[in-house]
Structure 1
Amino acid sequence: MAIHPDFPGLEVNIIVEDKTAEEFAEPVFEGFKDDDGDVVIVDHKIKVLERYVEAKPRATFAIEVKISPRFKYLQNDLYFHFDIDGVITTKRYSFRRDHVRGGNFRVRHIKTKSNRQIVQKDLIFGELETDCTHVHLKSSAGKQLVEEFEKLGKITCKVYRIIASDEKPVTGDERNYDKDPSVGTGSVPEKALEKAHRGRSLSRRTELGPAVAKTPSSCTSFKKTYIDKEDEPFACFVFKYRSMEDLHKELIVPRPDDLESRPVSSLSVQEKDRLIEKMRADQVKHERLNARIAFLTQEKMKRRIAELEANSQRLKREPSEEDKITGPDGPSSFKKRKIITHIEQVDLTGDA
């Protein structure tokens, strides 16, 4: 969960396939950690909380906002501005009258209007493909491409305090909808992407799902007055989504074997936690394997003993080949003859 350190009670998460995505921070090594951790200062004013999440291909995702009673701005109306890849934008409001009941919501899709038809499109992690298109990076067109590509792979949530006034109900036909973004799905020039993300790895982009027709619904229109300056949100969350291979390449998530081979002193707090969790899981797996081996060995010994006992009983019941011989050639006759030949006959008459 991404909780801004300056605003406890304000939480933003990325939900992938209806499950909260695991978040990763830039590795912070012991001896180099500061009080802000993974909070970046922008223009000396805005504190941006940055996290990384895994973007699974073709998976639907949503942005979840949770406001708890600990949040210090419960008495204010709040405006949330969402930007994805610098292309998809949408907004949500959370009014102070609703904060008592909890200000939780999810952004799962965008709604657009075309020719009086309301359509809804889900947010999906797509594949970002590159090509070898030649681009003059120093030209105005090349610089513009680089600026656009710098926004790829980012989900941004900016939070403002506002005053909502002059509320009035409006019909579904009168309400404002999201702009229909021209989301690209083709390949992009590799050199421009590398320039925009120097030293980084990026293979994901956001796409929109198929259009689903929706019935227009009524809502409330109001006048929005900023308490915070429009260019100075009081809080900002940035989620950089990557494939797991990208996270490995950027050293955000160590490859499975790396943690065990590295010195403990070089591991971050998050890496130590993951290593402990992995070692415990390996221990459980090892114990189960040993128990299975012991069980199979015991069963094998039981079968062997039973086999030997059965064979022994069979040998006791079956006569030998010699026992099967009868008559004068039998073993009993042989013994009898042997005894007879050893009897000496003595003449008691004394005759010569």
Structure 2
Amino acid sequence: MAILEDVPGVTVTVRINGVDCVEYDDPEAPGQQPSQPTTSSKYIESPDDTEFTIHIKVDSRYDWSYKNHSLKVRTFADATYIGGVFCEEKLSVSGIAEREITGKYELCRDTGYWQQRKPKFSAVKTVDDATKDRVEKDKKAFQKLGLIEVKVWRAIVHGPTVQEDSNHQHKASIELAEKSIKGKAISHGTTFSTAKGISKPSFAKSELLLEDNGPIAIFLFRYRSKEALQQELIIPATPPPLPSLDGLSEAEVRRLAAERLTDLNERKFIKEENTTAVKRELNEVQDLTEDDRPTKIQRLPSQVIDLTEE
């Protein structure tokens, strides 16, 4: 759960099937700059072809008192706008305001009805044969992949408004030139599901607080496959699987058992040889308790010897 100490009470999570994704610290997260909004940067795992939502929660620790404002939240995936919501204290009876961004709203030009497309993680596909222009173009597109951004502003809501039609261009898959991503660990991008009809959503117009000079908080989620997270050393590598006898013939099982028995016998033989050698060395040590040991030294009367005598 991404939490910012400078903006208490506001938390953001990415969810799959209603469950918060496990978050990992970003080892290269930049330090906080006084002139920049408070930022949280985390890594999450992105299962292939899986839809996700973005959950925002504001609890009683957040200070609503200034100018009777609301929180305006806008979300982006790979720099593409997904959706936005308002969190307001007056709409929260329990003191906790929760919102879920589940997809992108669109007004169908053909039918005149509203519809929604849900975001999902899609594996990046590569092509070997690509022109120089294609490689350069894909390099720019690549810079935007694998990142969910959630930006939070303080704003004054003025009432309902009419939402204009949005851009309906959506890619069914993500395909990049192999040379444009060579050596990089980006594994997924965001695509959108098939559009489904919904009831007409409500929209509101708002005015940002100018004194904030931009968002008060930004939450970043860098999403990767499990293998890519391991490649970037965000999570440890998976240990090799334990050996199994499943699928082996009886002859192969007997052969492995014989090899194991031989190995155990060799280890036992080496251990016995080492034990025998140690005992032999101990028996060869002279027993100082035998009778031929030196007798007690008797002290003689002291005398002076003249070393100058011839």
TM-score range, shorter chain: 0.5 to 0.7
CA distance in 2, matches of 1:220, 1:111: 11
SS class of match (2:229): helix
1:214-245 deviation per Cα after TM superposition (whole angstroms, max 9, x unaligned): 2325x3543x2111579721100010010000
Larger radius of gyration: 1
Aligned length: 235
1:161-216 deviation per Cα after TM superposition (whole angstroms, max 9, x unaligned): 11112x24x6xxx444654343351421122234xxxx640111112112112232
CA distance in 2, matches of 1:143, 1:228: 38
Determine which of 89, 98, 101 is the counterpart of 1:104.
Answer: 98
Q: Map 1:235-250; keep pairs closer than 5 Å.
A: 235-250=217-232
Q: In structure 2, what residue type is equivalent to 1:59?
A: T
**Identical amino acids, percent of aligned pairs:** 21
Structure-2 residue corresponding to 1:95: 88
SS class of match (2:118): strand
Moved over 4 A (4+): 141-144, 228-231
Comparing 180-189 with 247-256, which one deviates more in the overlay? Answer: 180-189
Structure-2 residue corresponding to 1:125: 121
Q: In structure 1, what residue type is equivalent to 2:8?
A: P
Structure-2 residue corresponding to 1:149: 142
Structure 2, unaligned runs of 5 or more: 241-310
CA distance in 1, matches of 2:27, 2:19: 24
Is the counterpart of residue 253 in structure 1 residue 231 in structure 2?
A: no
Would you say the 8 A contact 1:111–1:177 is kept in 2?
A: no
Structure-2 residue corresponding to 1:22: 22
Structure-2 residue corresponding to 1:60: 51
- Cα gap change, 1:20 to 1:113, in 2 (>3 Å): same
CA distance in 1, matches of 2:137, 2:210: 30
Determine which of 56, 61, 76 is the counterpart of 1:70.
Answer: 61
Structure 1, unaligned runs of 5 or more: 29-37, 259-352
Q: In structure 1, what residue type is equivalent to 2:227?
A: E
- Cα gap change, 1:61 to 1:241, in 2 (>3 Å): same
SS class of match (1:128): strand
Structure-1 residue corresponding to 2:214: 232
Is the counterpart of residue 190 in structure 1 residue 181 in structure 2?
A: no
- 1:76 Cα deviation after fit: 2.1
TM-score normalised according to structure 2 size:
0.67
Comparing 180-189 with 242-251, which one deviates more in the overlay? Answer: 180-189
TM-score normalised according to structure 1 size:
0.60
CA distance in 2, matches of 1:216, 1:146: 38
- 1:152 Cα deviation after fit: 0.5
Q: CA RMSD in A?
A: 2.7
CA distance in 1, matches of 2:233, 2:21: 18
Q: In structure 2, what residue type is equivalent to 1:233?
A: P
CA distance in 1, matches of 2:188, 2:227: 11
